[in-house]
Structure 1
């Protein structure tokens, strides 16, 4: 049986993040703990006036190879791995002059931060920690006897416990710290292996790992009976994971998911043109470009004012007061934008539960990356859909080519349809969505749903004619039969953008010609399940 309390007599400290280090070490010294340290950590403690031994005093071996070799030594790992009260281990320690280490304090070389700043390959390699993970794993394995701290946020709890126990740690704390330590090294190794896979161009490496650090536990998941947490991978991609929450209550699981969907969609639009996307249940229910954010928001809202209630609003530039005044007129869960003017923040502050997230920038829709989805017994991993319509070679396949105005609307619609759940159909007019059909089992049903939405939006605006009249239509995948295209024509669409590639393309093109539609193929599908 493990001993509940273990007195801390010797601590080894070796950290890259020195936040709170000196105060923590000073508290340890106050309990009579012998401090042993390495390199920059030892220097920081010594300059603070603390008595600290160099690691070489323990190993009788100098640091070498630019610090690559300093802690990989039997006198370090023996001190961490030795089982106390085990006669054989005690005899080995005595024979080889190995002294026990009761507390290990290590945080790793900042590999993830180095990668995030875009450092060159060689610099990333130099920031791969070897000795740190080895010590962490040794101490974590022997947590019956050794406490391991890998996060400065745990310093206070350890010191409070030692104060309450007369300088000891409890087994429950040591096990909790060991779990966190193993997770840290797993996430660290995952970041390194995934980086190397990307550098090698391996889309499906033989072993794939991923990990994250808890940002916050959530009240529940998609539904109240589900537990959930929000974890950060360290990817430096502006969005909900990296944003500063300027105001509002805690984000829910669904808020995070929907906000990510909204911000990724609005990032498709050049910030030189004001753009707004409104999302409900991870699908855009309105999107538009305008001369101002206010204009773009009102155009986006017109598409589906009913679904916008309780939705997420994403903007591609600094939120201004005029747009803020319009947004707060409708119950909104979250607003996410790169920045916000002070006056806009004052307006939103009147809605105390409305969350405002500021990201500092927009995610690059062309950037590489990997996305994950769990399945029973495993997970799927794929590269991010970073295809952008502006980079596609559009092929006119009908007798009539789209007009410049239609072409602008077609490209707009294809930016949006990329972010609508499949089967996806988007009607757009004057750089605004006017009808969206999402997640239907057949494409013709999506076409009809989008047309119905366009009619409902017109009635809500007091108009006699459907908003789909004179619009263009985008499909995320090819029309397998002419029926979906004919439904779009019946709704009033004048031009179509789709990937093409169906065995029935000739029939679909013939139907488009018969209806007088202009149609372009992109050659790129945007399924989103």
Structure 2
């Protein structure tokens, strides 16, 4: 049993989110708890027939300044912060007519939702809560005596403990709720600080705070011995976070990571496109007249790796492509929209996860990428760089043909989403060989070509798919060997950033082999 001194006798209720409030307050009243409340919360409870004492009546001071000042008063904060175990505190409270407040139920003005709605400056500022965080922090600090609730989901736990402990809560629960309270105010202040930084275009502020709400506890992380959870930060960017899961098993840590990578890649393209991802790297990407033809071309690049992969599309997913995707084992499919006919096709595969994101992310939109290292965070702006034809510099005797230019630009866009060192071969709007994550660029070029031989065999062809292709490199060729490996694989044109001290050597090798080559002046390392 909890000590009798921790029995809840008076509760202060002031909430923006009123979900479940009436039922919880009714339980409190039936348990002999006096309710003190403000504004809309008090109105709702009175309409439900519950007795409520206005804060203004308790303090003897009216709400003022359009409600900006109502709970910032010694009779409120003294009742919360006063230590029940100190005689000096009890004497001071008695001398000033301050009664104990044993339960504080507060959630905050909807700042995050107001920002997400696109509201103007004045509305956003008015939704910065002042009194709420002060009440929450005070109650959490004095958790030895005070129970604080910042989420309607915790009403049930408080109810259960009060029923089990004669109207009291346990120290264990109060400590747990205090921790949740401080995390909530920290996330709230993070959202406010981030919004102000955005308004000031302060991309990398002197203090970085990262806040998020736990959206899902995952079965495990990258490996079964690692714990993991998925947190939602509130960034307004279509993708996995914004998706509705239409069917299938619970998404895993690796599923979430790979699906995000797939959707970010497929959003790069204007024509119907499909990206197939395996272990955060693309194993096939293609554009087409429709999704079905794009999927078939993407799958042809590496059908072995595509087994158990992630498929992302940039158009409403229709029945025709759904039938093709369903022919092999796929972990996750993500699309901006999934037609009813396609849903019926996938319904036969109960474990297949199907996500509908509602929209595509903007590849050029700004944002931050954050990665942890021991003792700190590495933060950079998202790689939103894009290369157009006008950005290309022809450095060889032969200029690329129109078809080569189209394929070169596509290859470079895919390269941006491949782990470095990255080499991507493209032919007729589809990848035909991808080399990822190697320690030397020449190895990536050779691996991609070798895999294209396997893909050709799977299609019943001789040779390799890279014959007559173009090739992209995410960074410059430090030596001519990588370019020569691409030439040996049958590439006819090359796109790369340039900038090596050996550029002239590489350009000379390209000319000797009749290759066209363009420099972008921009690299796309992805570690």
Shared fold (TM-score, shorter chain, > 0.5): yes
Aligned mate of 1:292, from 284, 290, 293: 290
The match for 1:440 is 438
The match for 2:488 is 490
Q: Bigger shift: 62-71 or 169-178?
A: 62-71
Q: Bigger shift: 47-56 or 444-453?
A: 47-56
1:4-15 aligned within 5 A: 6-15=6-15
Aligned mate of 1:500, from 493, 498, 501: 498
Residue 4 of structure 1: CA displacement? 8.5
The match for 2:154 is 154
The match for 2:213 is 213
Q: Distance in 1 between matches of 2:340 and 2:232?
A: 29
1:161-240 aligned within 5 A: 161-240=161-240
Checking the alignment, whether the CA contact within 8 Å between 1:214 and 1:230 is kept in structure 2 is yes
The match for 1:528 is 526
The match for 1:372 is 370
Q: Bigger shift: 194-203 or 21-30?
A: 194-203
The match for 1:104 is 104
Whether 2:88 is the aligned partner of 1:88: answer yes
The match for 2:427 is 429
1:101-150 C-alpha deviation (Å, 9 max, x unpaired): 11111111222222223333333222222211111111111111111111
Runs of 5+ in structure 2 lacking a partner? none
Checking the alignment, whether the CA contact within 8 Å between 1:148 and 1:174 is kept in structure 2 is yes
Q: Distance in 2 between matches of 1:40 and 1:445?
A: 66
Q: Distance in 2 between matches of 1:478 and 1:224?
A: 38
C-alpha RMSD of the superposition? 1.7
Q: Distance in 2 between matches of 1:20 and 1:390?
A: 54
Q: Distance in 1 between matches of 2:504 and 2:61?
A: 77
Residue 5 of structure 1: CA displacement? 7.4
Checking the alignment, whether the CA contact within 8 Å between 1:203 and 1:382 is kept in structure 2 is no
Checking the alignment, whether the CA contact within 8 Å between 2:3 and 2:168 is kept in structure 1 is no
Residue 463 of structure 1: CA displacement? 0.9
- TM-aligned CA distance change 1:163 to 1:392, over 3 Å: farther
The match for 2:119 is 119
Q: Distance in 1 between matches of 2:389 and 2:461?
A: 37
- TM-aligned CA distance change 1:80 to 1:34, over 3 Å: same
1:307-357 C-alpha deviation (Å, 9 max, x unpaired): 111111111121111111111111111111111111211211111111111
Q: Distance in 2 between matches of 1:55 and 1:526?
A: 59
The match for 2:303 is 305
Q: Distance in 1 between matches of 2:61 and 2:393?
A: 69
Checking the alignment, whether the CA contact within 8 Å between 1:3 and 1:144 is kept in structure 2 is no
Checking the alignment, whether the CA contact within 8 Å between 2:284 and 2:432 is kept in structure 1 is yes
Checking the alignment, whether the CA contact within 8 Å between 1:3 and 1:171 is kept in structure 2 is no
The match for 1:39 is 39
Aligned mate of 1:314, from 312, 315, 318: 312
Residue 419 of structure 1: CA displacement? 0.7
The match for 2:457 is 459
SS in structure 2 of the partner of residue 479 of structure 1: coil
Q: Distance in 2 between matches of 1:4 and 1:509?
A: 84
SS in structure 2 of the partner of residue 169 of structure 1: coil
Whether 2:247 is the aligned partner of 1:247: answer yes
Checking the alignment, whether the CA contact within 8 Å between 1:392 and 1:522 is kept in structure 2 is no
TM score, norm. by length of structure 2 = 0.96
1:408-458 C-alpha deviation (Å, 9 max, x unpaired): 111111221111111111111111111111101111111111111212111
Q: Distance in 1 between matches of 2:458 and 2:121?
A: 56
The match for 1:348 is 346
Residue 202 of structure 1: CA displacement? 2.7
SS in structure 1 of the partner of residue 307 of structure 2: coil
Checking the alignment, whether the CA contact within 8 Å between 1:278 and 1:312 is kept in structure 2 is yes
Q: Distance in 2 between matches of 1:233 and 1:335?
A: 23
Runs of 5+ in structure 1 lacking a partner? none
Aligned mate of 1:479, from 477, 480, 491: 477
- Paired positions, count: 526
SS in structure 1 of the partner of residue 306 of structure 2: coil
Q: Distance in 1 between matches of 2:435 and 2:509?
A: 21
SS in structure 1 of the partner of residue 522 of structure 2: coil
Q: Bigger shift: 200-209 or 255-264?
A: 200-209
- TM-aligned CA distance change 1:224 to 1:92, over 3 Å: same
- TM-aligned CA distance change 1:374 to 1:392, over 3 Å: farther
Q: Distance in 1 between matches of 2:48 and 2:387?
A: 58
Checking the alignment, whether the CA contact within 8 Å between 1:37 and 1:53 is kept in structure 2 is yes
Q: Distance in 2 between matches of 1:391 and 1:122?
A: 43
Residue 3 of structure 1: CA displacement? 4.5
Q: Distance in 1 between matches of 2:12 and 2:379?
A: 39
- TM-aligned CA distance change 1:123 to 1:383, over 3 Å: farther
Residue 90 of structure 1: CA displacement? 0.8
Q: Distance in 1 between matches of 2:263 and 2:103?
A: 44
